[in-house]
Amino acid sequence: MNKRTLGKSGLEVSAMGLGCMGLSFGYGPATEKNEAIKLIRAAFERDVTFFDTAEAYGPYVNEEVVGEAVEPFRKNVVIATKFGFKEGTPAKGLDSRPERIREHTEAALKRLRTDVIDLLYQHRVDPNVPIEDVAGTVKDLIRQGKVKHFGMSEAGAESIRRAHAVQPVTALQSEYSLWWREPEKDILPTLEELGIGFVPFSPLGKGFLTGAISDKTAFDKTDFRNIVPRFSEEARKANQALVDALGRIADRKKATKAQVALAWLLAQKPWIVPIPGTTKLHRLEENLGAANVALTTSDLKEIHDAISAIDVQGDRYPAYLQSLVNR
């Protein structure tokens, strides 16, 4: 797989990474530990060198799984993790106090079985802690050799600029896909201006863009999508038009819907690195195959025209979580 550099930072990673959250959190019961480790190692064998985790995925369990999985080839991969919630639990609220950041970093180094974190993100902007204090704390950790790069997640343009002035931001991680293009308004221009890389999470619309989910799909009771307005039965029925449009283009390209959706992201900017997640080997291989799908200018225009004509229904987060983004 080709490599990409996240902005002007010099941090080189595989053109697609692996989002590891779903192995432990968010989409139903956790994958059995040995199976999760096997999947992560299978990704490395297929040239993935960028692995994304967070203390909040579990909490803590996902960092431990990733750490054990990549330990045999640690020097050949980039690990990204995140801080920002009280006790690593989103339901308990935000906490980006400097002492909490340092506490998380020390614990994460142990869980990840490493002596340095390649990319440390603030998971969500904390309005109770000046972003300059957050960036300054990570700057100190970088000076101490415990962290290499600073990242932010779901941050607004103003917060990104303020943080970047204290400690250069290597990457922003936010949702971006064919059914969530909001970052194109303010975020992508800001990142391009400042030389910051972009790491889209949920690049397949939390699975919807694969075509494997319909209005009749029943999710596990612990699946996060049960409380997402965009995954209500009515919204899924309305949003099927987007998947159908993607399918027509995929058929012509002799690719899958997921591959076209990921190839579209890769075609947007050379400093964009999607991190699709999965628990299944065949889905992993399908996703990575997107790197070989070449979309022409004509293809991209067709996709743009088709998607622009569709009004995607439903908010991407329930109200209490929506308030935590773009601060």
Compute the distance between CA of residue 265 and CA of residue 243 in angstroms, rounded to an integer: 16
State the pLDDT at residue 35: 98
DSSP-derived secondary structure for 282-326: HHHHHHHGGGG-PPPHHHHHHHHHHHHT----S-SS-HHHHTTS-
**Cα–Cα distance list, 261 to 129, 176, 186, 237, 238 (Å):** 37, 11, 22, 19, 19
Closest CA to 305 of 238, 252, 248, 230: 248
Closest CA to 51 of 34, 73, 31, 35: 73
pTM: 0.97
Concerning whether 57 is annotated as a catalytic residue, the answer is yes
Look-up of token digits 């917060």: 159
> Which two three-digit tokens encode residue 89?
């639990």
Compute the distance between CA of residue 50 and CA of residue 3 in angstroms, rounded to an integer: 10
> Which two three-digit tokens encode residue 141?
């950790």
Angle at 96 between CA 82 and CA 315, to 5 degrees: 65
pLDDT > 70 fraction of the chain, expressed in percent and rounded: 100
Give residue 320's pLDDT band: very low, low, confident or very high (50, 70, 90). Answer: confident
State the pLDDT at residue 30: 95
Mean pLDDT of the chain: 96
CA 30 to chain centre: 18
Q: What is the pLDDT of residues 209-224, one digit of tens each?
A: 999 999 999 999 999 9
State the pLDDT at residue 319: 82
In the predicted structure, residue 326 carries a pLDDT above the cut 90: no
Q: What is the pLDDT of residues 251-279, one digit of tens each?
A: 999 999 999 999 999 999 999 999 999 99
State the pLDDT at residue 106: 98
Indicate which residue of 57, 60, 121, 176 is catalytic: 57
Answer yes or no: are the C-beta atoms of 128 and 136 closer than 8 Å.
Answer: no
Q: Tell whether domain 3-322 is in CATH 3.20.20.100.
A: yes
Give residue 324's pLDDT band: very low, low, confident or very high (50, 70, 90). Answer: confident
Q: What is the pLDDT of residues 72-102, one digit of tens each?
A: 999 999 999 999 999 999 999 999 999 999 9
